[in-house]
Amino acid sequence: MKNKNIRMNVNGEWHDLTVTLQDRLIDTLRDQLSLTGTKEGCGEGECGACTINVNGKAVLSCLMLSVQADGAQVQTIEGLQNRLDLHPLQTAFLSESAVQCGYCTPGMIMAGHALIKQNPNPDEAMVKKCLANNLCRCTGYEQPVKAVLKAAGEMRRQTR
């Protein structure tokens, strides 16, 4: 199995890594960097559980080879928290009870994070469209939509 050396910035820190050509980005994040917050659901781009941000955009880490991420800026759910302080999105998901089993949550939060970065004042329709790629089989969708809207409001208040 052929190995390649890549360098990528994950959550603000540069890493020099040796990956195989078969490794998807989710494999490298979870198995090499122990960033197990990113979950694998379907592994073929249908469920959105593995959503992370690469170069500022929400992408699916199961549909990206690690070698494709050479030189990229990668952000995972672990990169949102500032030391002990939860990110407003994480706080909103807790206070809105938008988490039940939690498997889809990191993907939903990363999708919401990319949306708020792009548009700090999204309306409900935009949030629904943004989360349309993230399947949840227990909580449902109402609470996550409310949580993203609440977090967007909180983030606007913080930057004011």
Partner 1 sequence: MPLQYKLEDYYRPESMKQAVELLSKFGKTAKVIAGGTDILPKRQQGAKFDTITHLIDVSNLELNYIKKNKDNICIGAATDINCLATAPVFHQNSYRALMEAAEAHSTNTIRNQATIGGNLCNASSCADLALPLLTLSASVVVTGPKGNCTMPLDTFFTGPNCTALLPGEILKKIIIPDYKENAGSSFIKLKHHQTCVDMAVVNVATQLWFNENRCKRAMIALGAVWPTSFLAKEAADILLGQTLSKKLIELAAKLAADSSAPINDNRATAAYRKEMVTVMVKNSLEKSWKRSGI
The site for partner 1 (CB under 8 A) is made up of 2, 4, 20-24, 27, 43-46, 48, 51, 57-60, 62-65, 67-68, 70, 111, 129-130, 132-133
The H or E element spanning position 52 is strand 51-54
Neighbours of 41 (CB within 10 A): 19
User: Smaller CB distance to partner 1: residue 25 or 92?
Assistant: 25
User: Smaller CB distance to partner 1: residue 95 or 133?
Assistant: 133
The answer to whether the CB of 146 falls within 8 A of the CB of 96 is yes
User: Smaller CB distance to partner 1: residue 55 or 97?
Assistant: 55
User: Smaller CB distance to partner 1: residue 57 or 137?
Assistant: 57
Give the distance from CA 137 to its chain's centroid: 18
To the nearest whole angstrom, how small is the minimum distance from the Cβ of residue 95 to partner 1?
25
Q: How is residue 136 written in tokens?
A: 């949840």
In whole angstroms, give the CA distance from residue 26 to residue 98.
Answer: 24
To the nearest whole angstrom, how small is the minimum distance from the Cβ of residue 76 to partner 1?
14
Q: What backbone torsions phi and psi does residue 125 show, to the nearest 5 degrees?
A: -60, -40
First to last CA, the chain: 52
To the nearest whole angstrom, how small is the minimum distance from the Cβ of residue 113 to partner 1?
12
141 SS3 class: coil
User: Smaller CB distance to partner 1: residue 48 or 144?
Assistant: 48
To the nearest whole angstrom, how small is the minimum distance from the Cβ of residue 11 to partner 1?
19
To the nearest whole angstrom, how small is the minimum distance from the Cβ of residue 58 to partner 1?
5
